[in-house]
Chains A and B, each alone.
Chain A
Amino acid sequence: MAKSFKEALESGKFVVTAEVGPPKGTDIEEMLHHIDLLKDKVDGLNVTDNQSSVMRLSSISVSHIIKEKGGEPILQMTCRDRNRLALESDLISANILGINTVLCLTGDYITVGDHVEAMPVFDLDSVLLLKTVRLLESGKDLGGNELKGAARFCAGAIVTPEANPIEPQLLKFEKKIKAGAEFFQTQAIYDLDNFKKFMKYARQFNVKILAGIVLLVSSGMAKYMNANVPGIFVPKDLIDEMASAEKGKALEKGIEIAGRMIKTLKDENICDGVHIMAIGKEGKVPDILAAAGLA
């Protein structure tokens, strides 16, 4: 990938990002395979940070591997496991490893994961982490000290267009922009009419919005997410469409739906790009891109 993620964002092209989940342990063979498969097909690869509060390889080490392989990593950083000192240190450390894009997140609560007795940190929050990135770029740290060499980042955040109630989320969205977010990746969206309403609001700000696309693998998964995942709503017609798939063909149906949604988002110029989350099915991302006419 010749272009940096920031260049891709600013080029005005329809930006595509996907995700790599670091494994729990030192066997990285499968992950390396996914990186090789995806790095030249997307503009950026998110690397999750102890996703769902489950201890795994660090997002910095995996981002570094992606960079070494010629890909463009998007370093996810949560505020759950590190205080401001550690976050600042990791940010500048990432920078010297060639990692220039960071996605600032609050992080899931500790008890949803696999180390329920650990201390939840949350010294900063996602807004303050974004502000910290900008501060490090000014050559200073949160202690008010001068840095020997400033940092340089393209900084992003997330937003949940389907949240209920939406107003408190939008207030935070605006704070994130004020704090310096340049781009947003959204939580999964399925209802394009609803998403268009969100985009009408979001367009008043000078930020790039990448719609979150989570690959559906069954109608059961859609129903499960509706019942259990905050901010995700799969409309009934999509659940029915998934259920209508021939036996053993649900995954293909999910790929078809994801591809169709991406194509619509791009053709109708609804947003600036997509972030594809094919959780556990990373190998299918090229098929989704092909279905969207982007391959």
Chain B
Amino acid sequence: MIVADRKPFDDIKAMLEGFERVLIVGCGECVSVCMVGGEKEVEILASQLRMAAGKEGKKIELGETTLERQCDREYLELLKDKIENYDVVVSMACGAGVQFLAEMYDHKIVLPATNTRFIGVTEGEGVWTERCRACSDCVLAETGGICPVTICAKGLLNGPCGGTNDGKCEVSKEKDCAWTLIYNRLNKLGRLDSIREIFPAKKYNVQTRPGRRIHEAFKEKE
């Protein structure tokens, strides 16, 4: 899933300076799971804004709604009537959701309430860790199911750098060295040969921005 952080309240408040009618839109997918932009977080942000406005004697009218998800037009369409009652929309989705909402309602100001961080997993309660960089050229078959592009701070493809020590990364003793993990797992699986050959340099042209994918069955329509 996509993992995000909520922007600091002061940043959100500063973005909304001068607006009186604000619609906060949550997203029921990834950001809901990572407890940053779901129904509950929409409520929290609304109360924070209400309290701050009250304290400063300012007028604010807040709308709160959470869509199934913001990365599909059919759900975004549900905002159609409601959105007209507001001057500004705050999206609590990931960057993709914010943009799709802004694209569909391009006559409205749409602002982000989150900083999108990474594609990751739920490591434990309230802890998420990155697992994929979406590089479009997966090497997990050779590296024992551990991604060097993501887990190695330098994204090295041909083994550890000299900065690793006791299985940790030179960037921080909190971080594991990806290549020590890869070596140990492949050793356990008896598959070290898969990393003895030199990996070629990564092909960045396969990940030219922005990415686009069309399902085979829909190619003719395009």
State how many angstroms separate the Cβ of A70 from the closest Cβ of chain B.
Answer: 32
Q: Judging by beta carbons under 8 Å apart, are A171 and B201 in contact? A: no
B154 contacts chain A at the CB level, 8 A cutoff: yes
Known: A84-B201, A165-B167, A178-B198. A171 touches B157 (CB 8 A): no
Known: A109-B153, A111-B171. A164 touches B165 (CB 8 A): yes
Nearest CB in chain A to that of B168: its residue: A230
The interface residues of chain B lying within 8 Å CB-to-CB of A169 are 159-160, 162
State how many angstroms separate the Cβ of A144 from the closest Cβ of chain B.
Answer: 12
Q: Judging by beta carbons under 8 Å apart, are A175 and B161 in contact? A: no
Contact with A along B72-96 (1 / 0, CB 8 A): 0000000000000000000000000
The interface residues of chain B lying within 8 Å CB-to-CB of A127 are 158-159, 198
Nearest CB in chain B to that of A142: its residue: B201
Nearest CB in chain A to that of B165: its residue: A230
Q: Judging by beta carbons under 8 Å apart, are A165 and B180 in contact? A: yes
A112 to B202, CA, bound (A): 25
Nearest CB in chain B to that of A127: its residue: B158
A172 contacts chain B at the CB level, 8 A cutoff: yes
A125 to B154, CA, bound (A): 9
Q: Judging by beta carbons under 8 Å apart, are A163 and B159 in contact? A: no
Count chain A residues whose beta carbon lies closer than 8 angstroms to a beta carbon of B: 34
State how many angstroms separate the Cβ of B167 from the closest Cβ of chain A.
Answer: 7
Q: Judging by beta carbons under 8 Å apart, are A160 and B158 in contact? A: no
State how many angstroms separate the Cβ of A136 from the closest Cβ of chain B.
Answer: 14
The interface residues of chain B lying within 8 Å CB-to-CB of A106 are 154, 156, 161-162
Q: Judging by beta carbons under 8 Å apart, are B158 and A108 in contact? A: no
Nearest CB in chain B to that of A231: its residue: B162
A178 to B156, CA, bound (A): 17
A123 contacts chain B at the CB level, 8 A cutoff: yes
Q: Judging by beta carbons under 8 Å apart, are B163 and A108 in contact? A: yes
State how many angstroms separate the Cβ of B148 from the closest Cβ of chain A.
Answer: 10
Q: Judging by beta carbons under 8 Å apart, are B163 and A175 in contact? A: no
Name the contact of A175 in the complex, choosing from B154, B158, B171, B183 (C-beta under 8 A). Answer: B158
Q: How many residues of B sit at the interface, in one of the four size bands?
A: 20 to 34
Nearest CB in chain B to that of A229: its residue: B165
B145 contacts chain A at the CB level, 8 A cutoff: no
Nearest CB in chain A to that of B155: its residue: A122
A10 contacts chain B at the CB level, 8 A cutoff: no
A158 contacts chain B at the CB level, 8 A cutoff: yes
A12 contacts chain B at the CB level, 8 A cutoff: no
Instruction: Give A122-173 interface residues, CB cut-off 8 Å to B.
Output: 122-128, 131, 142, 158, 160, 163-165, 167-169, 171-172
State how many angstroms separate the Cβ of A166 from the closest Cβ of chain B.
Answer: 11
A165 to B167, CA, bound (A): 7
Excluding A127-B158, A168-B179, A230-B163, 5 further A-B contacts by CB distance (< 8 Å) are A106-B154, A125-B158, A127-B198, A128-B157, A142-B201
Interface residues of A (CB under 8 A from B): 80, 84, 106, 108-109, 111-112, 120, 122-128, 131, 142, 158, 160, 163-165, 167-169, 171-172, 174-175, 178-179, 187, 230-231
The contact sample of 21 A-B pairs, CB cut-off 8 A, is: A80-B154, A106-B156, A108-B163, A111-B171, A125-B156, A128-B198, A128-B199, A128-B200, A158-B162, A163-B162, A163-B164, A164-B165, A165-B183, A167-B183, A168-B179, A168-B182, A171-B183, A171-B196, A172-B160, A175-B158, A231-B162
Q: Which 4 A/B pairs are nearest by Cβ-Cβ distance?
A: A172-B159, A230-B165, A127-B158, A168-B183
